């Protein structure tokens, strides 16, 4: 491989001849040969947006030549579009402030912009003008997260809610047995059961959107420690407006930059709602798993789509594979929540230096939840069907229909009817009549499952 010589404040370093990055990126590659995880592409795209917005504002505020600003913005568009993704090779496990990724973007943009403008453009003096890694990276974290949630997760949740709403309405009148403690309970409709699932998704969506609003406050303009040193007046506010124009989302300059640089409470709050969503998805998926168990020797009340052979040895077996995928995703998200919380607690003095691991966890959670919900909805929920014959059978055999007798007979007598039926393997009606506490007609008038929901 051929190399060229690049220089930074520490001296000379050899860089691959065709690379668009410079000395600081190369030093990071050498000094952090750790793991396989790279900085998420969403973060690189977000930093590209910040650099474009900053270049425009720096020109407007007359701290950067127009020609240089135009060239930087043009280069940033290429990065935002993903045209140079191979030029961002740095390990996630780097400096905790994200400085090396900020400089990676600065160096790539400087080299590209220099080609466009025909004059030297410096990564620090021009691309990073009026900025610090300490306000750029937190801003990129917020920007990337808001975009991921609003463009990917919320549409996935809306799609799932739509399917659940259709199933709820379809099965609104289908009475089945309820269950508590994994034991038979009084009846519900399948529509009511599915409606509970729908409410979980709708409620989580509302909580997520509320949390996202706080992430629209941006740290940009705080520079190194929150004071705004070396940034012109109004820089942060104007960059926020530019980012709104680029993304179509209303971003704001954070009112307290000291808070923005050191605290990550907005991301903790957002990820807490992602954990809540993961918990609800685990519950919904496990309900489907249990209700579809069988098909003959389990509950067998729901029929799941047969997407692929379920066993390498048992012919004809169908397994709840989409359930297993979404529940594994839920476990990962719950684990990521611990990462986010612990990382956010490490904001010492004026800066948090656990930011790369934190944003990687947040974006992984959003990505997994978005993809997982889409797959679970498309390949499981859409094709989910009720086995109405099985539902009727389990409902009519349930001993907990005896609950309807309690007002007429009293709790203890009703319990005796249920125990007798269970011990003698008879119906509740047969037990009540044999005990002489009700006639057959009286039983039929009192125990009507459709009236118990």
Q: Which parts are annotated binding residues?
A: 97-99, 122-125, 132-134, 180, 312, 317-319
How far CA 427 is from CA of 96, 186, 348, 451, in Å, comes to: 67, 16, 68, 19
Phi-psi region of 381 (alpha: psi -120 to 50; beta: other; left: phi over 0): alpha
Sign of CA dihedral 125, 7, 100, 149: positive
Beta-sheet pairing, 217-218 with 252-253: parallel
Provide the greatest CA pair distance for the chain: 102
The answer to whether 365 is a known catalytic residue is no
Task: Choose, from 126, 130, 142, 181, the residue flagged as catalytic.
Answer: 181
Beta-sheet pairing, 385-386 with 302-303: antiparallel
Provide the CA 280 distance to its chain's centre, in angstroms.
13
List the one residue out of 141, 152, 153 whose CA is nearest residue 39.
141
How far CA 296 is from CA of 20, 284, 303, in Å, comes to: 62, 22, 11
Residues contributing to the annotated binding site for substrate = 97-99, 122-125, 132-134, 180, 312, 317-319
List the one residue out of 166, 215, 201 whose CA is nearest residue 362.
215
Question: Partners of 8 in the beta sheet?
Answer: 11
Residue 436, burial from CB neighbour count under 10 angstroms (0-12, 13-18, 19+): exposed
The set of residues, in sequence order, having a beta carbon less than 8 Å from that of 369 and lying 6+ positions away, is: 153, 156, 274, 277, 278, 281, 329, 333
Task: Choose, from 41, 206, 311, 434, the residue flagged as catalytic.
Answer: 311
Q: In what helix (H) or strand (E) does residue 16 lie, and over which residues does it extend?
A: strand 11-16
The answer to whether 311 is a known catalytic residue is yes
Residues tagged active-site: 181, 311
């Amino acid at each position: 491989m051929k190399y060229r010589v690049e220089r930074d404040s520490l001296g000379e370093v050899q860089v691959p001849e065709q690379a668009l990055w410079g000395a600081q990126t190369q030093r990071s590659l050498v000094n952090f040969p750790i793991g396989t995880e790279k900085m998420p592409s969403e973060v690189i795209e977000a930093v590209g947006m910040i650099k474009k917005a900053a270049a425009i504002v720096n020109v407007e505020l007359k701290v950067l030549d127009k020609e240089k600003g135009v060239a930087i913005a043009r280069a940033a568009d290429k990065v935002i579009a993903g045209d140079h993704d191979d030029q961002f090779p740095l390990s996630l496990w780097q400096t905790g402030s994200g400085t090396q990724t900020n400089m990676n973007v600065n160096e790539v943009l400087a080299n590209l912009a220099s080609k466009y403008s025909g004059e030297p453009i410096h990564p620090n003096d021009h691309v990073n003008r009026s900025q610090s890694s300490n306000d750029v990276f937190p801003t990129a974290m917020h920007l990337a997260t808001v975009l991921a949630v609003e463009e990917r997760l919320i549409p996935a949740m809306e799609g799932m809610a739509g399917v659940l709403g259709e199933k709820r309405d379809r099965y609104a009148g289908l009475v089945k047995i309820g269950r508590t403690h994994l034991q038979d309970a009084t009846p519900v409709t399948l529509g009511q059961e599915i409606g509970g699932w729908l409410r979980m998704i709708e409620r989580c969506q509302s909580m997520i959107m509320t949390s996202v609003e706080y992430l629209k406050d941006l740290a940009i303009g705080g520079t190194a420690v929150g004071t705004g040193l070396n940034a012109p007046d109004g820089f942060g506010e104007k960059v926020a407006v530019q980012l709104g124009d680029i993304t179509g989302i209303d971003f704001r300059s954070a009112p307290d930059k000291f808070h923005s640089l050191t605290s990550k409470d907005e991301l903790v709050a957002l990820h807490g709602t992602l954990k809540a969503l993961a918990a609800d998805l685990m519950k919904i998926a496990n309900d489907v798993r249990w209700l579809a168990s069988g098909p003959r020797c389990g509950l067998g009340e729901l029929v799941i789509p047969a997407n692929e052979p379920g066993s390498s040895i048992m012919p004809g077996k169908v397994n709840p594979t989409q359930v297993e995928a979404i529940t594994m995703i839920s476990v990962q998200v719950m684990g990521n929540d611990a990462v986010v919380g612990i990382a956010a607690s490490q904001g010492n003095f004026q800066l948090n230096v656990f930011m790369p691991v934190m944003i990687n966890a947040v974006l992984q959670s959003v990505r997994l939840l978005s993809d997982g919900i889409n797959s679970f909805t498309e390949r499981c929920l859409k094709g989910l069907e009720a086995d109405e014959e099985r539902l009727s059978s389990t409902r009519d055999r349930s001993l907990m229909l005896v609950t309807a007798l309690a007002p007429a007979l009293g709790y203890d007598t009703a319990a005796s009817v249920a125990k007798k039926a269970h011990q003698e393997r008879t119906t509740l009606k047969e037990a009540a009549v044999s005990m002489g506490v009700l006639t057959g007609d009286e039983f039929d008038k009192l125990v009507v499952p459709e009236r118990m929901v």
